[in-house]
Structure 1
Amino acid sequence: MEAAAEQGERESRTQMLTGTVLGIDHTDLFYRVCALCERTLSFPSGDDSDAPASSLCKFCHPHPASASSASKRLFRILMSVATETKVFSVICFDRVARVLFGCSADDFFHFAKLHPFCGVTVNEILEGEMFTMTLTKPLNGNARHLRLASAVPLSSTFQPIIQVLREYYTSSHTS
């Protein structure tokens, strides 16, 4: 009986739809976490440098095994999505974003250091792209946006973003 109630609650938090990406916030695509425990680390706003030693996780830092650990970046992308009847914002976290981008957030960050305007280009690549999306309501009561739990491109020609960017920046430098 409890399992059925839990299943019903999970289904009420999940919504599957077809939507079009209108745009993304390309100015804030990442956040940092401890490389060991993946707890969120706080950094000064706009800190794009590698993690200073003082920013090690307060939970892992005292342990000798974590002496060499640093932070890593994970994707957190705010997207505007449109359906036939509604426009709303969703948050796309690392698991789904890795599929769309075709790389880790750290890899994309290092690519973006070499190509500073690629965030704008990512927005242009995703704009108008249609997906079958699974959205979930946030478990945290303070959260404002739905979560993008999965995204399946409807276009048979969809390629991971990093692949499109590499082709774009390679061809633009050879022309």
Structure 2
Amino acid sequence: MALFRTAEAGLTPTITNCSVVAVDHSNIYYRVCAGCERPLADPNPDDPSPACIPCCSSNALSPASFASKRLFRVLMSIATDTKVFVVILFDRAARVLFGCSADEFFEYAKSHPFAARTAGKALEGEMLRVTLSHPKNGNARDLRVVSVVPLRSGFQPIITTLKELYEMKDGL
């Protein structure tokens, strides 16, 4: 499988079937400004709400200008019939697999500390149809998953699987 380069089209996205080999569960989301979605630095303990300079300077009186939210950024390895790739799923594609927003997953993970690791394990072996594209940023190196469709007929979003799993554990 390759992404094709043509003179007139640039990089053509490729659709392929694959299997999830592994998921990096150590850092699956990042913080952005709720107004403009610019990435924000991780907050330090003394200042838990990092501010977005462009939004805060133009909207100094609005409390919403200080709001932030989380978006998914999931790094995973996938295997096609010929090759193993490292790919990255951003928010829109990752929501299909997780079944919730990154903020919702973060809140759930606060009460279930191993939720991210368990989510990665639950995704391993999952068959997917993905559309891959090259990054638009010249510094980025990983292929982007711009759309994803689970191929298993009984697929459940990760948040549903986790809730069922932890409910069973709590019931024992």
Matched ranges for 1:1-175 at <5 A: 8-9=8-9, 12-43=11-42, 52-53=48-49, 55-62=50-57, 63-64=59-60, 66-68=62-64, 69-175=66-172
Determine the C-alpha separation between the residues in 2 that align with 1:137 and 1:9. Answer: 13
Per-residue CA deviation, residues 84-142 of structure 1 (Å, 9 max, x unaligned), is 11001000000011111010000000100100011111111100000011001101111
CA gap of 1:160–1:57, structure 2 versus 1, over 3 A, is same
Answer whether contact 1:60 1:66 (CA < 8 A) is retained: no
1:172 shift after superposition: 0.7
Q: TM-score, normalised by structure 2?
A: 0.89
Structure 1, unmatched stretches of 5+, are 1-5
Q: Report the structure, 1 or 2, having the larger helix content.
A: 1
Q: TM-score, normalised by structure 1?
A: 0.88
> Percent of aligned pairs with the same residue?
51
SS at match of 2:160: helix
Determine the C-alpha separation between the residues in 2 that align with 1:150 and 1:43. Answer: 27
Structure 2, unmatched stretches of 5+, are 1-5
Answer whether contact 1:36 1:66 (CA < 8 A) is retained: no
Partner amino acid for 1:143? A
CA gap of 1:118–1:82, structure 2 versus 1, over 3 A, is same
Answer whether contact 2:23 2:121 (CA < 8 A) is retained: no
CA gap of 1:149–1:107, structure 2 versus 1, over 3 A, is same
Partner amino acid for 1:101? F
1:52 shift after superposition: 2.2
Answer whether contact 2:18 2:78 (CA < 8 A) is retained: yes
CA gap of 1:168–1:149, structure 2 versus 1, over 3 A, is same
Aligned residues: 165
Task: Compute the RMSD of aligned alpha carbons.
Answer: 2.1
Runs of 4+ deviating beyond 2 Å? 64-69
